[in-house]
Amino acid sequence: MDPNDIGTAYDQITHLWERSTFDRQNGMEQHRRALAFAKNKGSALDVGCGCTGRFIDLLKSEGFIPEGVDVSQKMVSLARKRHPEVIFHHQDICEWEISAKYDFITAWDSIWHIPLSQQTKVMEKLVSSLNQGGILIFSFGGTNQADEHSNNAMGPEISYSTLGVNDFVNLCIGLGCIPRHLEYEQFPELHAYLIVEKT
């Protein structure tokens, strides 16, 4: 699927994250682990920020100046209402030319929606947008090999892709990063995340 189609799909299901039953602790422990590796507390970027603002709140509490980016117009609109003081970008991460540099970037449950053919390019972009010593945390499908599929589990058809564990780790190393933590935190589900530091 084209990333803009993903944005349109998410425009239809923002209510899933606005429910009182949404688990706002989802991903928080993992981000606290990543933040423990952060040497500098300057600018931060939440890729696929959505509308909950929970990572924005965490980053602010840790002394960062966060920004958010999302391909869903409605997600960005809701995020701006929640945090009017924060800069949010309505952009496709595949095409967006990032001009700033960041000390911390998170891409939690987001970049797995971009096409498999764009995964390497986007990872290169995110790492190049980190300052030296910057931290990147991202979640992905923890498969042994590259995979791409779609489903309608949340309502509209949504695509997912992953390079697989070894290729993500090797790519990050090749881009000059040190892997700091890899975990399947929902095992036996193939939901994995990786924390890397740019050297």
Mean pLDDT for all residues in the chain: 96
Q: Report the distance separating Cα 18 and Cα 26, nearest Å.
A: 14
- Look at residue 134 and give its three-state secondary structure: strand
What structural domains and CATH numbers belong to the chain?
Answer: 3-13+26-198 (3.40.50.150)
pLDDT in the model for residue 139:
98
Is pLDDT of 180 > 90?
yes
pLDDT band at 149 (very low <50, low <70, confident <90, very high): very high
pLDDT in the model for residue 39:
94
Is pLDDT of 93 > 80?
yes
pLDDT digits (tens, 9 = 90+) for 52-87: 999 999 999 999 999 999 999 999 999 999 999 999
Q: Return the bridge partners of 114, or none.
A: none
Is pLDDT of 102 > 90?
yes
Q: Return the bridge partners of 181, or none.
A: 195
Assign residue 141 a region: left if phi > 0, alpha if psi is -120 to 50, beta otherwise? Answer: beta
Rounded percentage of the chain residues whose pLDDT exceeds 90: 88
Is pLDDT of 89 > 90?
yes
Cβ neighbours for 87, distance < 8 A, ≥ 6 positions apart: 67, 68
- Of the two residues 169 and 19, the one the predictor is more confident about is 169
> First and final CA of the chain: distance in angstroms?
34
- Of the two residues 109 and 1, the one the predictor is more confident about is 109
Rounded percentage of the chain residues whose pLDDT exceeds 70: 100
Cβ neighbours for 35, distance < 8 A, ≥ 6 positions apart: 58, 62, 104, 135
